[in-house]
Each structure stands twice: as C-alpha cells, then as structure tokens.
Amino acid sequence: MELWYTENQNDHLRLSCRVNETLHVEKTPFQHLAVLDTPGFGRVLVLDGIVQTTVWDEYIYHEMIAHVPLNTHPDPQRVLIIGGGDGGTAREVVRNPRVGSAVMVEIDERVVAAARKYLPELSSRLDDPKLDLRFADGIKHVAECSGEYDVIIIDSTDPVGPAVGLFSREFYEMVFKALKADGLFVAQTESPLFNADLIARIYRDVADIFAVARTYLACVPSYPGGMWSFTMGSKKHDPLDVKPENVPALKYRYYNAEMHRAAFVLPEFLRELLERG
C-alpha cells in the first residue's frame, strides 16, 4: 500500500509527496502538528496541513533568512527570532560568529519538543549558550520592546492562526520601535507566484515605515512554486552595500557572498509588482 501526504495549495492545485511513515501527530493548543518520514524529502514538519520545513532542503531557507540580514548589519550583537520552532534559523544565527546573543520567541512549545525529538539536524543548537529560548507570543514580546535589537528575524508560519498579526502593518511599526537606531528586520513573505497581493502589501508597508525596503528570493523546492520571498526593512544599512569580506567564511550550502547580492535581483513581474505598489 502507498501512503501519500497532500497539501491543498488552492482550489486548483494540490502538492503531494510519498510517505514512509507518520512519526508524530498532535493537536497543540495553537495548531495541528505532524512529522512525516518521506523517501523524497526525509523528515517533514507539517503545521495545519502546510509543510514548514524538510530535512532535504531546509538549509536553503534557513541560511537565507539568517545570514542575509545578519551580514547586512555591521555589528549584529543582539538578535531576535520570532517563531522558528524547528530550530533551523536559531542554528544559523548562533553559528554566525558576528552575533553576540539571540532571543527566540516561539508561541508553541510543542513544535520545539517535536523538533528536538524528530529533527535533530535542525534543533541541534537550541541549547546553545548564545540563545535564550522563550515560549510566548512574538507579537506581545515585540510590543514590549523599545530600541533593543540590532536584527529581528520573523520565521513564522503562513498568515493564518497565531501568525496573522505577524504580517500586519501595526506589527512592522512595533518592529521598528523594538530595533536600535540602525537596526533591521527580515520576514519570510511567502510565494511571489501564489501570494503576489500579500507581498505587494507587505513591501508597501515596510517601505512606508523603513528607510530601506528590499525583497529577496531563494529557491525552496518543498514550498509551493519553489520560489520563496523574504522582505527586509532597515533603518540605515542596505543589503546591497555588503562587502564580500564582511561575509564570514562559514561552511554554507546555499548562501555565499555572491548569492547575498544575487538574491536581490528580481524577475520582471515581481519588480513591477513592487514598483506599482
């Protein structure tokens, strides 16, 4: 018998992958959580029926959401991660030698517990001494901060359930206040192919609030459409000014100094969409 996992992208599109075994299923206080073992992607974390990360291609998303903002800031001493329960972003943040310390605020303790048990490749640095892991609503945490962080990374689920507010203009205003005078933030902002209106709205909001607004892309095969976007808002530093010598010589699998720049080259449809606002 063949077992398949199917994700409903929209009324006209479903994405499926073959499953060896369902390792874990749980209804947490915040969402439905599952961990699957698959022949194509290795272990897969699914929240509310949407693939969050796979062991096979997670490095692309996590290197790009972490090192692009960290290396844009000249001295990222104090970093905040919102969400990121699988631990992949925290792993990249703490191994970047330019980072002093990081706070990670994840709303759902059960996602972290599942990642610790089933996804050791991602969660391996959650006990790093540089990281202060807290379980709380990231929106509330940011609302209570003022001038505290150099870099904020929003590694959230899609804009449903507890993550809805993380995509709002009011939240980006709170992020601005939580950052130091030359701080910057980045958020995962979904697929340019399937969520064009959302990306255009986010870019407009960020450009209204921050001196520098930039969208960049990475290729993440396990996300719908494969092309994934990140939006950065910065009070001062421009990611396009980063010098190759400022990029730490870590062992990367996707990111490097050339990719840092290349990721900001946008296809014409997206460039026009953002320009039109």
Q: Which residues are catalytic?
A: 155
By CB under 6 A, tell whether 61 contacts ligand SAM.
yes
Which residue among 57, 63, 92, 108 contacts ligand SAM (CB under 6 A)? 108
Cα 104 to the chain's mean position, in Å?
A: 12
Report the C-alpha gap between 119 and 123 in whole angstroms.
6
150 vs 155, which CB is nearer to ligand SAM? 155
| Count of residues in contact with ligand SAM, rule CB under 6 A | 24
DSSP lists the bridge partners of residue 233 as 185, 213
Q: Counting beta carbons within 10 angstroms of the beta carbon of residue 36, is it exposed (0 to 12), middle (13 to 18) or buried (19 or more)?
A: buried
Q: Check binding of 106 to ligand SAM (CB under 6 A).
A: yes
Q: Are 83 and 166 in contact (CB under 8 A)?
A: yes
CB closer to ligand SAM out of 107 and 242? 107
Distance in Å, CB of 176 to ligand SAM, minimum? 18
Tokens of 163: 């993550």
Query: Other C-beta atoms within 10 Å of 102: how many?
Result: 26
Judged by beta carbon, residue 53 or residue 231, the one nearer ligand SAM is 53
Neighbours of 110 (CB within 10 A): 18
Q: Is 54 in the site for ligand SAM (CB under 6 A)?
A: no
Q: C-beta of 155: minimal distance to ligand SAM in Å? A: 5
Residues facing residue 26 across a β-bridge? 33
Which of 23, 31, 7 lies closest to 110, judged by CA? 31
Q: Which x/- pattern over 229-258 shows residues binding ligand SAM (rule: CB under 6 A)? A: ------------------------------
Does position 166 interact with ligand SAM (CB under 6 A)? The reply is yes
Binding site for ligand SAM (CB under 6 A): 30, 52-53, 61, 82-86, 105-108, 111, 137-139, 155-157, 162-163, 166, 188
